[in-house]
Amino acid sequence: MNVTLNVNNVDYTVPVSDGSMPLLWVIRDLIGLTGTKYGCGIEVCGACTVMVDGQPEHSCVMDVTSAVGRKITTIEGLSSDRSHPAQKAWIDQQVPQCGFCQPGMLMSVACAIKAGRHGNEIVNEVKNLCVCGTYSRIRKACSKL
């Protein structure tokens, strides 16, 4: 079956063998946007976080048919020139270490900003995991937002 998804303001029609295929695999393997990462696969780490209709969603557990007709934003669609406030704060505070979790982390922060959160409100809302432990830099970057 074919499904059409709006990802980063572009419509993609992709063939899926099963409507319960995780959105993450469609984004990465069929559409080819590899910024969104696979971490735990059980909705715990947040590496797979994307924005769906302005809300954070774990794409590893969201089936593709649930995403049809909705607006999906991945890290590649956050901004083309790193001008999003979260990206600017991350660069200014040199947040990433290995960087693996950062796309999901940035998407969670971007969703919090979109919801009107600031500073510590963002830190308290974002539950993504960072194995490298850059939480002090994450908190510092969020305090600037």
The pLDDT confidence band at residue 103, using thresholds 50, 70 and 90, is very high
Mean pLDDT along residues 64-80: 97
- Every domain of the chain and the residues it spans: 2-77, 85-143
Map tokens 């083309």 to a residue.
Answer: 80
The pLDDT confidence band at residue 89, using thresholds 50, 70 and 90, is very high
Quickly name the fold that domain 85-143 has.
DNA polymerase; domain 1 (1.10.150)
Helical H runs in the chain?
A: 23-25, 64-67, 75-78, 85-92, 102-114, 120-125, 135-143
pTM: 0.96
Q: Determine whether domain 2-77 maps to CATH 3.10.20.30.
A: yes
